Structure 1
């Protein structure tokens, strides 16, 4: 006879972790993102994203009608270079 016991909380944790992994996989597969997704990706507010990135002519952005869109991989590469530069300059960013 086989006896199986499950911890409900541990099972929930495992399920949530698998869902998170799948969501990350889907997000990574997104080729283009919009401003809302960019803000979420950077964990920054829209005004901050606009001041720091969107209006910077070097930032990889495109305007389609009234909507800004961004190539996800280009944004990730830009942010990597930007963050290295910020750290070299002391790690502080002024957003005013």
Structure 2
């Protein structure tokens, strides 16, 4: 007969590490977000984004032609700080 023991804490830690690695790779795929990606990443509508933080002078954005682009790392950092600053 075969008996197998699994350390649940170790399994959870391995899962968390793997998920963090996958998320980091996914974020590394994008250098810039466009408006569609910004809406997807924030789960916010375009109107809500504009009302809340789009016109904040610290919000990183560049307009190329008629399209807005947002540097992924800087935008993510801004959004994390913005959310923490909300009352």
The total of aligned residue pairs comes to: 67
User: Which residue is 2:85 aligned to?
Assistant: 85
Counterparts of 1:23 and 1:42, CA distance in 2 = 15
- Taking the TM superposition and a 5 Å limit, the aligned residue runs for 1:16-95 are 25-86=25-86, 89=87
Q: Partners of 2:60 and 2:38 in 1: how far apart?
A: 12
CA RMSD in angstroms comes to 2.1
Quote the residue 2:15 is aligned against.
Answer: none
Partners of 1:22 and 1:32 in 2: how far apart?
19
TM-score of the two chains, using structure 1 as the length reference: 0.60
Shift of 1:28: 3.4
Unaligned 5+ runs, structure 2? 1-20
Report 1 or 2 for greater relative contact order, CA contacts < 8 Å, sequence distance ≥ 6.
2
CA distance in 1, matches of 2:71, 2:85: 21
Structure 1 stretches of 4+ moved >6 Å = 21-24
Partners of 1:34 and 1:53 in 2: CA distance:
16
